[in-house]
Amino acid sequence: MPDTTLTSDPSHDGPGAQSDDAAGYYTPGAPIADTKAPGGPIADRWQTRKFEARLVNPSNRRKLSIIIVGTGLAGGSAAATLGEAGYNVKSFCYQDSPRRAHSIAAQGGINAAKNYKEDGDSVHRLFYDTVKGGDYRSRESNVYRLAEVSTNIIDQCVAQGVPFAREYGGLLDNRSFGGVQVSRTFYARGQTGQQLLLGAYQALERQVAAGTVETFTRHEMLEVIIVDGKARGIIARDMVTGEIETHLADVVVLASGGYGNVFYLSTNAMGCNVTASWRAHRKGAYMANPCYTQIHPTCIPVSGAHQSKLTLMSESLRNDGRIWVPKKASDCEKDPRDIPEEDRDYYLERIYPSFGNLVPRDIASRAAKNVCDEGRGVGPAVEGVRRGVYLDFSAAIERLGRDGIEEKYDNLFDMYARITGEDPYSTPMRIYPAVHYVMGGLWVDYDLMSSIEGLFVTGEANFSDHGANRLGASALMQGLADGYFVLPHTIRDYLADGPFEPVPADHPAVVEAEQAVRTRIDTFMNSNGTRSVDSYHRELGNIMWEYCGMERTEEGLKKAIDLIRTLKDDFWRNVKVLGSAESLNQSLEKAGRVADFIELGELMCIDALNRRESCGGHFRGESQTEDGEALRHDDEFAYVAAWEFAGDGEAPILHKEELIYTAIEMKQRSYK
Amino acid sequence: MRLTLKIWRQADAASEGAMHTYEIDDVSEDMSFLEMLDVLNEELQAKGEEPVAFDSDCREGICGMCGLMINGQAHGPEVTTTCQLHMRSFKDGDEIVIEPWRADAFPVVKDLCVDRGAFDRIIQAGGYISVNTGSAPEAHATPVPRDDALRAFNVATCIGCGACVAACPNGSASLFMGAKITHLGELPQGQPERDTRVVEMVGQHDHEGFGGCTNIGECTAACPKEIPLDVISRLNWDLHAAMRHGL
Ligand SMILES: Cc1cc2nc3c(=O)[nH]c(=O)nc-3n(C[C@H](O)[C@H](O)[C@H](O)COP(=O)(O)OP(=O)(O)OC[C@H]3O[C@@H](n4cnc5c(N)ncnc54)[C@H](O)[C@@H]3O)c2cc1C
Ligand code: SF4
Ligand code: FES
């Protein structure tokens, strides 16, 4: 074990004891020995790696080709940067334009250790907050690098014309976000993701005009092509004509985003999926920590069975809004304005006095669930329980005036009013947690390369930077850090081995990948079942939310695995896809995605079952302190669970990567 | 509530399209317009009919992917995106006509989906600031007056949905273009390319087959992000300035 402070838990058998709830569901594999992070002082590691990464001379770059799946912050920024550098880039997305990638929806902001406020921020503090916020389940070297390059991101985006909020003097403004005590979050009203993505998109389109990047919109990647152990291309479907296309390159980058839609209802865009990652996983890329799901505390509560998605209200609202529920369950039906101050329970301020309404997301989410489970939730009862808490701006409106609030949050307030039909300026908003982000994803080494050579993974699709819980405003930072500043350096070291032997179009690996895609599509089109794809997705989502959601137990997870296996069986026999495969067919698109979600869902449950500890966004009912806080077991679980696909119907193989902290001490998190 | 839907169905770009009528029951007012179509699609599926294709992704009014003509209005009766339009804007017994965006420069792909690739090509023509990654100066090196930043932000919120084009009798994309030209032109970083940007973008716009602007103002009335009409004046002003500068 590394030199760390171990947690001591009296109910626990002590170091060395191995709980193995998932026995029988997996096969143990060899540990992961090397992540390729350079050694030495943490502050020098990235500089060392950059220096050691071999160079590719500009005239050779033209001869090298890169496929990038995804045009969000991670993929768009990478494509623009690698295009500028002179490589041949092919960029893919399933939407009709790269500008629509899901990153566009991010509201709150982006962190960077600029210390413009002189409030004690630094690269080291951002690093420290991120590792602590992730409950010591992220990789130290990666997180440090993220904090280090964060400052360049702001410079880059400002130069591109991203209209961040400014102070009267013309300098950039900041705000603070959940889980931290400094103001380091840069923002563009409540639409930061949109503005950052437009910056990356414009940089990308500039390269399209320059001829270095070719974009393939309405194209879905359905398979990776692996030749001699190396990723050399993809099979994509042109979603308009149905044509199955082979695209070959020297290296493949997946920047395909997160898989939160496995829960059906989430804050993610409708099309977010796991297909690109899952297809790669089935070909040998390890899937790391898939069970780490972030539940966001401030979403608009569910209103009925028709619902297709949940809408997030930016967490920045927690800066000014106070969260409460009535002290007495009997007050829950009352108009909140009629409940006097002394009958309100500002439960976050009460339980966590030093962070108050700004505790990290997992803590805020679970606290909301607890008060609703106690019967003190507010708003309409759905299936017998009121699932909502108040987010109250009345004090802030008094302090800052209605104008002050309008200026900060206007579009969020409008959005709330539009969706709920209620006016949040006059009556408190109602919020409830919802699935938002996944910290798990394809395993990558320090260079962002997966366990398949030549297959790189960036942004939300990889796993490395956020541990078991992501602090607010850190995903945008990671997407842009990976795409603008990290991948371009690490990929050049890989490409320096070029020129690579061209892959002939009739290479057996290409033929096999293409055939696999065709067979799968034919299976869907010829299945004469009766149930719609959506109905399976909803059912899967219910299972996942119920048993692998905010709180997991051994019993529940085992039950979920059985349910998912039965569902999978039924899906393949009973799903119905109408229309043709040779044209735009949204049911067919969804069928492929849901099939992959079902397999992922099973692995998420197995991963959650294996991890008999509570950390960050993973709360195991069996592992809590006396007062109901999450209890980690660093002696047993300070590792990344990297799962290898072993074949259909075979138990997955678990590789453990030990987490070693040299620059930071592992502590039990406390926000009290 | 119970509604009658008249929906444009068209198998692909090359086929003839036609209106089809569908009845739908049990529509609740909390549903978004697209959720109502989801429910219709589930019903069609159950009857063995192919679901209606329509575009959407974020379903929260920000990606710009959704967009329908609803009773002849781009995005429908409220000033918002189709995904943020809720059924409380309609009443029991209504007949609703649903068509794809209408514009020569946006060919129909299938049913209610159109191809808006022309917007990307307009951006390629100059809707950016040229700065290579890693060569940016310190962010505080150039202060930007707060009001300029705010105005740049307000017009940068264009989501590229195309409602302005669909609403315009001339099928002009001037509002979309004006928004980008104003956004970048408002900032110090956008000045060096200000002249070339407007000339190139306008050239591409005309080349794509969008119509000319005759100041009717339907675009701004339909724009879910309330991009103001004066971005078009700014566009014209910049274009004339570029001409004067000899471009
Ligand atoms: C509502 C909301 C608000 C958020 N707010 C914040 C915030 O304030 N701050 C913050 O830091 N983070 C926030 N996040 C998280 C953050 O937005 C995301 O984690 C991040 O944008 C992901 O970026 P990405 O580039 O990895 O992926 P995405 O932006 O999701 O892009 C994925 C890309 O992959 C493509 N793709 C996927 N699969 C395929 C396939 N099979 N074939 C072809 N293309 C494919 C898609 O077309 C898309 O282009 C928010 C998230 C949500 C949902
Ligand atoms: S200007 Fe308005 S209507 Fe036109 S594309 Fe932009 S947001 Fe849509
Ligand atoms: S679906 Fe994104 S704006 Fe409507």
For the residues A40-47, what does the mean pLDDT come to? 97
pTM (two decimals): 0.96
Q: Phi/psi of residue A497, each to 5°? A: -75, -10
Contact present, B119 and B173 (Cβ < 8 Å): yes
* B63·A271 Cβ contact <8 A: no
Q: Whose CA is nearest to atom 3 of ligand 3?
A: B61
* Active-site residue, selected from the candidate residues A361, A376, A386, A632: A361
The CB density around residue A590, as the number of other CB atoms within 10 Å, is: 22
A472-482 pLDDT, tens digit per residue, is: 899 999 999 99
Cα(A166) to centroid of ligand 2, in Å?
25
CA-to-CA distance for A499 and B194, rounded, in angstroms? 40
A584-614 pLDDT, tens digit per residue, is: 999 999 999 999 999 999 999 999 999 999 9
Q: Does A160 touch chain B (CB under 8 A)?
A: yes
Q: Is A499 exposed, middle or buried (0-12, 13-18, 19+ CB in 10 A)?
A: exposed
Q: Does A116 touch chain B (CB under 8 A)?
A: yes
In CATH, the architecture of B117-244 is Orthogonal Bundle (1.10)
Chain A neighbors of B42, CB-CB under 8 A:
532, 534-535
CA-to-CA distance for A608 and A619, rounded, in angstroms? 9
Q: Is the pLDDT of residue A671 over 60?
A: yes
Radius of gyration of chain A (CA): 24
Cα dihedral across residues A409, A413, A415, A416: positive or negative? positive
Nearest to A269 by CA among A93, A456, A79: A93
Rounded mean pLDDT of chain A? 94
HSE of B78, CA atoms in CB hemisphere, 13 A: 16
DSSP code string of A116-169: TT-SS--HHHHHHHHHHHTTT-S-HHHHHHHHHHHHHHHHHHHHHT----B-TT
Provide the pLDDT for residue A8.
38
Lowest pLDDT segment from A351-355, B133-137, B227-231: A351-355
Lowest pLDDT segment from A191-195, A314-318, B36-40: A314-318
Q: Is the pLDDT of residue B168 over 50?
A: yes
Cα(A258) to centroid of ligand 1, in Å?
7
* Cβ contacts of A621 within 8 Å, gap of 6 or more: A551, A552, A553
The torsion angle over the Cα atoms of residues B142, B147, B153 and B154, rounded to 10 degrees, is -170
Contact present, A193 and A476 (Cβ < 8 Å): yes
A519-543 pLDDT, tens digit per residue, is: 999 999 999 899 999 999 999 999 9
The angle, 0 to 180 degrees and rounded to 10, between the axes of the packed helices A192-210 and A140-160 is 70
A296 to chain B, minimum CA–CA distance in Å?
16
**Kind of pairing, strands A639-644 and A287-288?**
antiparallel
Q: Is A593 exposed, middle or buried (0-12, 13-18, 19+ CB in 10 A)?
A: buried
B10-55 pLDDT, tens digit per residue, is: 999 999 999 999 999 999 998 999 999 999 999 999 999 999 999 9
Helices (H), A424-496: 475-480, 487-495
pLDDT band at A3 (very low <50, low <70, confident <90, very high): very low
Provide the pLDDT for residue A2.
38
> For residue A635, which amino acid is it?
D
* Cβ contacts of A526 within 8 Å, gap of 6 or more: none
- Best B10, B50, B58, B86 member to test A by mutation, with max A CBs in 10 Å, is B58
**Whether residue B183 has its Cβ less than 6 Å from ligand 2:** no
For the residues A188-212, what does the mean pLDDT come to? 96
Element (H, E) at B144: none
> Which residues lie with the beta carbon below 6 Å from any ligand 1 atom?
A 69-75, 92-95, 101-103, 105-110, 192-193, 220-221, 255-258, 267-268, 272-273, 275-276, 312, 436-437, 459-461, 473-476, 479
**Whether residue B122 has its Cβ less than 6 Å from ligand 2:** no
Provide the pLDDT for residue A16.
44
CA-to-CA distance for A622 and A619, rounded, in angstroms? 9
> CA-nearest residue of chain B to A214?
B124
Strand, coil or helix: what is B72? coil
> For residue A41, which amino acid is it?
P
CA-to-CA distance for B22 and A48, rounded, in angstroms? 65
* A166·B160 Cβ contact <8 A: no
A344-397 pLDDT, tens digit per residue, is: 999 999 999 988 998 888 889 999 989 998 999 999 887 788 989 999 999 999
For the residues A23-43, what does the mean pLDDT come to? 95
User: In the CATH scheme, what is the code of domain B3-110?
Assistant: 3.10.20.30
pLDDT band at A1 (very low <50, low <70, confident <90, very high): very low
B69-120 pLDDT, tens digit per residue, is: 999 999 999 999 999 999 999 999 999 999 999 999 999 999 999 999 999 9
Q: Give contacts of A 386-405 with B, CB under 8 A.
A: none
Q: Give the residues across from A6 on adjacent strands.
A: none
Element (H, E) at A81: helix A73-85
CA-to-CA distance for A176 and A366, rounded, in angstroms? 21
Rounded mean pLDDT of chain B? 97
**Residue A418 falls in the annotated catalytic set:** no
Chain B neighbors of A418, CB-CB under 8 A:
80, 84, 86
Domain ranges of chain B: 3-110, 117-244
A407-444 pLDDT, tens digit per residue, is: 888 778 988 998 898 999 999 999 999 999 999 999 99
Provide the pLDDT for residue A414.
87
Q: Is the pLDDT of residue A11 over 60?
A: no
